[in-house]
Amino acid sequence: MTLRRADFGEDFTWGVASAAFQIEGAWDVDGKRPSVWDEACRNGRVRDGLVCLDAIDAFHRSDEDLDLIAGLGVDANRFSINWPRVYGDGRGPWNEAGGAYYDRVIDGCLARGVEPWVTVHHWDLPLALQREGGWTRRGIVDDFAAFAEEVARRYGDRVKHWMVFNEPLSVVGHIAAGIHGRIGPHPMAALASLHHMNLACAEAGRRMHAVLGAEASIGTTNVFSLGAPFDATGSQRRMQRAIEALTVDAFLDPAAGRGYPFDDSPFLRPLRRYVRDGDLEAAAFDYDFMGVQYYGPFPTKKVPVLGGIPVPRLDTAEADVRSTTKIPVEPRGLIELFRRYRDHPACKRFVVTECGFGMNDRMVDGRVRDDLRIWYTRNHLEVVREAVAEGLPVDGYFQWSYADNIEWVFGRNGRYGLIYVDYDDDFRRTPKDSYRWYQQLLTDADGID
């Protein structure tokens, strides 16, 4: 069937997304202080080592990149603020030189008719705060809220769409594994951090609203990976539910004032020791939208005695396809999560803030033929279109990512971009076939077959 932009409605937001650490480079320019990920590069925790200190040099190429983003025909560009670039070692003062970079990006977006959607925090915790305990320290709640408040004050005159925190679950995973310290496991540190992140996001949201006023739209983003197969029953479903309660509901329920789903997940129960009087009320915040980070589900298999266990293969999918970061592909997971969470009080509306596919792209004769990424994007958009037609409250889709970048611990291994970055030729940008496909979808009224 033909896919048309008009199928999604006039109020649907189309965009692309990125994160500061993954694209900017300029790791020590204009007074920027080190982050935990800068340190991870130097400590060998990132594949290919120091490549992330340059990333894709977006700091020095913002005009070129914004021209390419605007050329797609998107409505919005989602990007994040690098905490130690603008706020020193975590508690200020504001770094005017570092903050000017984001002024240029915001103004550049608006000049090109592209709405800036800002993520306050996308994992780049200042190294100085990490050395004080990072997210395991309760004082981080006020540190983060003060940073978010100042970011809102500096850019709120031009930015109307905000995301407080990108994927707190992923940061919990980094802490559990010891990526920024002694190699894990660290389950209790992870649970303490999970609770502090919930408190920090809510307090940041309140302070941002006080600065920005009622017209601003403040959301956040969370991982929404459900257990598959989606029709599992019995012990297999109970196992899935225990994992989903930890990975999804442990963030949504506190925001909605429901507390933690301790009854559903034994993995969460030790967190009780970190909850103080008044915390469950303090963790509540009325988000205007919930950002959905979706790449695929976590497959499970029913086995005797154990009931259900996670497995690497997704046998129920249309095709056994996985990205370079080993995430299985199942577009139906998107509509499944919309249906399951449509009535959750933290999810008044959904925006797909990340969705994309990692490949080992190659340039051949000046062209990158990434048909598999086009297949992935089309299938997921067809599911989003189905959700819109069904009346499910989803009104935005952001492709991850506008360009290849540093894929965290994977380094340069695994390209997710619509634009190819040639690391051997001064970071030269080349639009891939997927860029042309997305561009046609967004700019051709007849759509794309």
- Residue appearing with tokens 């709120």: 156
Catalytic residue among 149, 150, 167, 336: 167
Q: What is the pTM of this model?
A: 0.96
pLDDT in tens, 171-204: 999 999 999 999 989 999 999 999 999 999 999 9
Residues 6+ apart with CB under 8 A from 435: 68, 72, 418, 419
**Host domain of residue 354:** 5-443
Residue 1 is predicted with a pLDDT of: 80
In a domain, 46, yes or no: yes
Quick check: is 448 in a domain? no
- Could you confirm whether 215 is annotated as catalytic? no
Domains: count for the chain: 1
Q: Is residue 235 part of a domain?
A: yes
Specify the DSSP element, H or E, that contains 301: strand 298-303
Q: Is 354 a catalytic residue?
A: yes
Asked, for residue 166, whether it belongs to a domain, the answer is: yes
Angstrom distance (rounded) from CA 21 to CA 29: 13
User: Is residue 228, in this structure, part of any structural domain at all?
Assistant: yes
pLDDT in tens, 367-415: 999 999 999 999 999 999 999 999 999 999 999 999 999 999 999 988 9
Q: pLDDT tens digits, residue range 12-36?
A: 999 999 999 999 999 999 999 999 9
Residue 98 lies in a domain: yes
In this predicted structure, what is the pLDDT of residue 381?
Answer: 98
pLDDT digits 0-9 by tens, 285-309:
999 999 999 999 988 888 876 677 8
76 falls within a domain: yes
**Catalytic one of 203, 244, 336, 354:** 354
Low-confidence spans in the chain with pLDDT less than 50: none
Check which CATH number belongs to the domain holding 329 and give it: 3.20.20.80
Average pLDDT of the chain, as a whole number: 95
Angle of helix 140-155 versus helix 187-212 axis, rounded to 10: 30
Whether residue 449 lies inside any domain: the answer is: no
